[in-house]
């Protein structure tokens, strides 16, 4: 079978000019099957590109939403950590102040050598053998009672 192009006469030459002036030629119908296929191919490619761009937009939108959510999460964590750090700094300052007070108190406390000197004096005086005012009054009364009872015997 012959192709449709082989049956058609060849296209007219461009510069026939004046010779064909009186006669009008009918233009040949151009072959549209190749152009339709090209348009269909281009249309299909365009749809594929549009789908690809739509998918990329969705991907970037989801990525952006995830980044915003992560940013909020990290901001909250940073605020929490900042407040924790501030609290720890306050506690450290309080500990420093208390430590300074303890150091000042320890500076006023007697030293080991001073305590040893006091221990020697206490051992030398032996305050355990000291008597109270009441004990002395009782002893004096006993002695007076003995003298009175012995004086009556004399």
Burial of 71 (0-12, 13-18, 19+ CB in 10 A): exposed
Give residues with Cβ within 8 angstroms of 28, minimum separation 6: 8, 9, 11
Taking the chain, what is the end-to-end CA distance rounded to the nearest angstrom?
Answer: 181
24-59 burial, b if ≥16 CB within 10 A, otherwise e?
eeeeeeeeeeeeeeeeeeeeeeeeeeeeeeeeeeee
- pTM to 2 decimal places: 0.45
**pLDDT on residue 30:** 64
d(CA 129, CA 46): 117
Output the tens digit of pLDDT for each of the chain's 154 residues: 445 545 556 655 555 555 555 556 666 666 677 889 999 999 999 999 999 999 999 999 999 999 999 999 999 999 999 999 999 999 999 999 999 999 999 999 889 999 999 889 888 888 777 788 898 899 999 999 998 988 765 4
**pLDDT on residue 1:** 46
**pLDDT on residue 21:** 54
* Inter-residue contact 5 to 31 (CB < 8 Å): yes
- The 3-state secondary structure of 62-119, one letter per residue: HHHHHHHHHHHHHHHHHHHHHHHHHHHHHHHHHHHHHHHHHHHHHHHCCCHHHHHHHH
Backbone angles phi, psi at 70, to 5 degrees: -65, -40
């Amino acid at each position: 079978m012959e192709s449709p192009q082989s049956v058609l006469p060849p296209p007219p030459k461009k510069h026939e000019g004046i010779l064909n002036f009186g006669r009008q030629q009918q233009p040949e119908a151009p072959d549209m099957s190749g152009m339709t296929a090209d348009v269909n191919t281009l249309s299909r490619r365009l749809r594929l590109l549009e789908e690809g761009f739509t998918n990329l937009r969705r991907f970037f939108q989801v990525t952006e939403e995830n980044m915003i959510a992560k940013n909020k999460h990290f901001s909250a964590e940073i605020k929490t950590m900042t407040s924790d750090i501030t609290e720890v700094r306050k506690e450290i300052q309080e500990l420093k102040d208390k430590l300074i007070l303890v150091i000042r108190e320890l500076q006023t406390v007697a030293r080991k050598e001073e305590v040893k000197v006091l221990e020697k004096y206490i051992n030398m005086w032996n305050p355990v053998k000291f008597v109270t005012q009441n004990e002395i009054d009782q002893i004096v009364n006993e002695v007076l009672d003995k003298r009175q009872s012995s004086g009556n015997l004399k």
